[in-house]
């Protein structure tokens, strides 16, 4: 646990997701949560030692977030689209049935996913009065269709979800590339220059890493266009995944998982592009 500024804490002790906790006047807002049940209970105990949790916000509908949220007994906040996706999903999650190059691929059977469906939702933005401290929720699609940010203007801190990947290649299977690039343009605006930005994977980021993320996404867009012309070329797909891995400090231990994540994501982007093209021509 690390206190970023007075009343705002970061937790990077648990796998996959960096979580946050905003405390004001004895009231707590959790930002994301661990995905392993024992970690969730340990995390909640630590949060309660700082202030009683009153809310938890999920930055999108990625199961890496929602699996842990099943055990949280406070109102869950998320974008409308996150709620729609989660309501439409099965109550049982089987990570090993649909591997995506993530830690959660190891999960064989997780039940009770319906308990993670958000209670409070918003479309474009929403504000919350946390004991006199203004919290702002904003919809910024890109990494997923339901991706959101949490801003605490008084503290000049913002949690930006998966918008700026730095440590490992991002999950691209649900990405909206054009919207994601637009989101990065918004992050570069002068209004956020003095904000500390917290990535859901890597903690604090530097502003220059926003440009790195944009260059990576433009590369992905170019590779998807090439694969559309030769979608069955598995060798080309593997070569592109390995090439894209070079943009990140991937080590030998995480390389196979990162490669799988990129291959899965590229395949999904190509399929979606082809499906959209067929809809337009039919």
Cβ-based neighbours of 192, under 8 Å, separated by 6 or more:
158
Distance CA 201, CA 190 (A): 24
**pLDDT at position 39, please?**
93
Spell out, as residue ranges, where the chain has pLDDT lower than 50: none
The CA distances from residue 55 to 18, 21, 208, 209, 278, in Å, are 17, 10, 32, 30, 43
Q: What is the pLDDT of residue 232?
A: 76
Residues in the chain: 282
CATH 1.20.950.20 fits 2-208, yes or no: no
Partners of residue 57 on adjacent β-strands: 31, 77
pTM attached to this predicted model: 0.93
- The pLDDT of residue 114 is 84
pLDDT recorded at residue 215: 97
Q: What is the pLDDT of residues 61-99, one digit of tens each?
A: 998 888 889 889 999 999 999 999 999 888 888 877 767
Burial class (CB in 10 A: 0-12, 13-18, 19+), 68: buried
């Amino acid at each position: 646990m690390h206190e970023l500024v007075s009343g705002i804490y970061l937790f990077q002790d648990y796998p996959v997701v960096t979580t946050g906790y905003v405390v004001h006047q004895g009231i707590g807002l959790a930002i994301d949560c661990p995905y392993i049940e024992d970690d969730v209970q340990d995390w909640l105990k630590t949060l309660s030692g700082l202030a009683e949790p009153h809310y938890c916000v999920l930055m999108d509908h990625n199961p890496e977030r929602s699996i842990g949220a099943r055990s949280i007994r406070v109102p869950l906040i998320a974008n409308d689209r996150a709620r729609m996706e989660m309501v439409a999903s099965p109550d049982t999650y089987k990570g090993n049935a649909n591997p995506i190059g993530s830690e959660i691929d190891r999960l064989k059977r997780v039940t009770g996913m319906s308990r993670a469906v958000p209670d409070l939702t918003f479309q474009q933005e929403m504000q919350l009065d946390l004991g006199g401290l203004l919290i702002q929720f904003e919809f910024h699609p890109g990494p997923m269709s339901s991706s959101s940010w949490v801003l605490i203007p008084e503290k000049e801190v913002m949690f930006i979800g998966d918008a700026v990947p730095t440590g490992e290649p991002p999950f691209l299977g649900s990405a909206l590339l054009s919207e994601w690039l637009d989101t990065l343009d918004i992050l570069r605006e002068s209004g956020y220059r003095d904000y500390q930005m917290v990535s859901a994977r890597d903690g604090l980021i530097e502003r220059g890493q926003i440009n790195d993320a944009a260059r990576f996404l433009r590369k992905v867009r170019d590779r998807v266009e090439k694969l559309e012309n030769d979608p069955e070329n598995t060798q080309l797909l593997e070569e592109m995944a390995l090439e894209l891995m070079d943009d990140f400090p991937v080590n030998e231990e995480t390389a196979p998982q990162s490669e799988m994540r990129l291959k899965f994501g590229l395949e999904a982007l190509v399929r979606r592009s082809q499906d959209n093209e067929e809809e337009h021509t039919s």
